[in-house]
Amino acid sequence: MSNSKVIALLQELSNSSTLPPYDEETVRETGQEINNTHSEIIQLFAETPAKERKRLGSSVVVRHHTIARNKRCILAYLKNRIDVIKQLRWELDNSIPEDVMQNFGSKEGEFLVKYDEILTQYIDDVGVDLCKDLQGPPQVLYIQARVLEDCQLPGDDQEEGRLLKKGTEHFLKRSDVEGLIRAGVLQHVI
Amino acid sequence: MHFEALPTKRLPAQFTANNEFKLLDLILSNDIIDAEDEGGKGSLVQKIKTAALNERSAPELLEYKEELVDQIKQSLRSQKQRINGPFTEFQFEEKLFTSFQQMEIDRISYLLRSYLRSRIVKIEKHHSKFVSDETYHQRLSPSEQKFAQSYTDLIKSHYRESFLQSLPDRVNSGEEDAMTARINLDEYVICRVLERIGQIELDDQTDEFAELNENDVVLIRYRPIQHLLVEGKVELL
């Protein structure tokens, strides 16, 4: 029984501060094991004459619980990874770093794309950008920011599109550059 | 107030007491969002603040405040247009006033976002409930209904394609619902009583009662005050 493997999988996920690589191998093995356990149950039934099936009781129950438990563990693994991925989408929008993306399973990449679609759709519907101000209510209107990579100034006023050169410092509207700061393109100088 | 935001270099040398009065007048006379109070039961800002706090603290999803959200969005839009409009004279007072207004807009937008976000968080947490249960489904706005439906479909297909499809038929279904958190109406919440209510029954089995007077702040189970919250007699903190 590879129960300990499933537990190790969950522990790895909960102990890690970032998203560990998707363990497709263990997920597949656990699925295989559930299939085996399931066919064991069927086999037990097939081998035992109808009259004697009562004494199968505990061995069937134990196998059923093994299946339920393994299934639950893997689903918990998938769900908790999804939660991390969703959080990444909220916090970093579309600029999730390449090295984090590499840890996604193939289906998780698809999940992110589709989740992004439905969330963007919702945000367009309500017309309010929900991904701003995730840290708490705004305290100041302008902040001092240092440019870590060349980028263009977003925003809706006449300064939009102004080029910010790497290494320079600017006094900018907080609401315009919040996304760039979270993405690590700008640094908030306190 | 946030004086970091002010263009201090532009401060005129002759900034006297007279000017200060002028400035104060300007600020007081232009507080549009608060001035749009028609019902008399607190301003729009106060309403969205209460709504955001209630939504954040309540264990279940509350009724969608469509009218309020629309009003707030409308006010924010007109306010934004005003401050982005061309200045007649580029004076210090106007610049200063624009800063205050921009800050006000930012803070009210935050409340609105916070309100809508709390709802999305709850929808994701209990997604299958909103698709299957008619009472909860009706509390969503049309766009939220769409979101809840697509999200539930997405989660289901993700579980299926990643794992469940490899399992034998007899055990590969029914688990999506088990993976969604249940709504726990017995959660404890902190609430403020807005008007005198008198005694309320806490538990129909033990016959315990609590006396709620105006301005009391109590830590209480959500279920007994559920209807009071809907009636607007209490607010959550």
Helix A57-92 vs helix A3-15: crossing angle, to nearest 10 = 20
Please give the DSSP secondary-structure letter assigned to residue B2.
-
Q: Is residue A73 part of a domain?
A: yes
Please give the DSSP secondary-structure letter assigned to residue B169.
G
Would you call A140 and B143 a contact, using CB atoms and an 8 Å cutoff?
no
Would you call B2 and A140 a contact, using CB atoms and an 8 Å cutoff?
yes
Range in A40-54, A125-139, B15-29, B187-201 with the lowest mean pLDDT: B15-29
- The CATH class that applies to domain B188-236 reads alpha beta
Q: Is residue A19 part of a domain?
A: yes
For residue B144, what is the nearest residue in chain A, using CA coordinates?
A122
Where along chain B do the CATH 3.40.5.60 domains lie?
188-236
The answer on A118 and A150 residing in a single domain is: no
pLDDT at site B119: 92
Highest averaged pLDDT of the listed ranges A96-100, A119-123, B5-9, B89-93: A119-123
Where along chain B do the CATH 1.20.58.1030 domains lie?
14-125
Please count the structural domains in chain A: 2
The answer on A119 and A36 residing in a single domain is: yes
The answer on A75 and A14 residing in a single domain is: yes
The answer on A175 and A85 residing in a single domain is: no
The answer on A18 and A107 residing in a single domain is: yes
pLDDT at site A132: 80
Q: In the listed set A72, A99, A126, which residue is the last one of a domain according to the structure?
A: A126
The residue that leads in pLDDT, A90 or B38, is: A90
List chain A residues with CB under 8 Å of B171. 34, 38, 67-68, 71
- How far is the CA of B12 from the CAs of A37, B21, B37, B116, B195, in angstroms? 83, 15, 36, 43, 50
Q: Is residue A134 part of a domain?
A: no
The answer on A30 and A68 residing in a single domain is: yes
**Which of B113, B159, B168 lies nearest to residue A132, judging by beta carbons?**
B113
pLDDT in tens, A6-23: 888 888 888 887 888 888
Q: Is residue A135 part of a domain?
A: no
Q: Which ranges in B12-141 belong to alpha helices (H)?
A: 17-29, 32-35, 44-57, 66-84, 92-125, 127-132, 134-138
pLDDT at site B166: 80
Q: Is residue A68 part of a domain?
A: yes
For residue A24, what is the nearest residue in chain B, using CA coordinates?
B162
The residue that leads in pLDDT, B148 or A3, is: B148
The answer on A22 and A115 residing in a single domain is: yes
Would you call B146 and A122 a contact, using CB atoms and an 8 Å cutoff?
yes
Q: A29 pLDDT exceeds 70?
A: yes
The answer on A41 and A84 residing in a single domain is: yes
What is the architecture, at CATH level 2, of domain B14-125?
Answer: Up-down Bundle (1.20)
Q: Is residue A110 part of a domain?
A: yes
Instruction: Round to whole Å and give the CA distance between B230 and B191.
Output: 13
The answer on A70 and A27 residing in a single domain is: yes
Q: CB under 8 Å to A174, separation ≥6 — which residues?
A: A138, A140, A141, A142, A143, B106
**Which of A71, A105, A127 lies nearest to residue B73, judging by beta carbons?**
A127
Minimal CA separation from A177 to chain B, in Å: 14
pLDDT at site B116: 92
Pick among A28, A120, A134, A142 to test the B interface (most B CBs inside 10 A): A142
Range of the domain at A182: 142-188
Mean pLDDT of chain A: 83
CATH at residue A7? 1.20.58.1030
Confidence of residue A54 (pLDDT cuts 50, 70, 90): confident
Instruction: Round to whole Å and give the CA distance between A4 and A9.
Output: 9
Q: CB under 8 Å to B209, separation ≥6 — which residues?
A: B199, B200, B201, B202
Count of CA atoms in the C-beta half-sphere (13 A) of A58: 0
Q: Is residue A131 part of a domain?
A: no
The answer on A116 and A88 residing in a single domain is: yes
Q: A63 pLDDT exceeds 70?
A: yes
Q: Is residue A184 part of a domain?
A: yes
The answer on A122 and A30 residing in a single domain is: yes
pLDDT in tens, A156-169: 655 666 778 888 88
CB atoms within 10 A of CB A110: 16
pLDDT in tens, B100-137: 888 888 888 888 999 999 999 999 888 888 888 888 88
List chain A residues with CB under 8 Å of B123. none
List chain A residues with CB under 8 Å of B159. 75, 78
The answer on A111 and A46 residing in a single domain is: yes
A145, A181 Cβ separation under 8 angstroms? yes
Structural tokens at position A101: 């993306």
Structural tokens at position B146: 């769409």
Helix then strand count (H, E) for chain B reads 10, 5
Give how far the C-alpha of residue A82 lies from the chain's centroid of Cα atoms, to the nearest Å: 4
Q: In the listed set A75, A102, A126, which residue is the last one of a domain according to the structure?
A: A126
**Which of B73, B103, B158 lies nearest to residue A78, judging by beta carbons?**
B158
Which residues of chain B are under the pLDDT cut of 70? 1-42, 85-92, 174-177
Q: In the listed set A100, A126, A152, which residue is the last one of a domain according to the structure?
A: A126
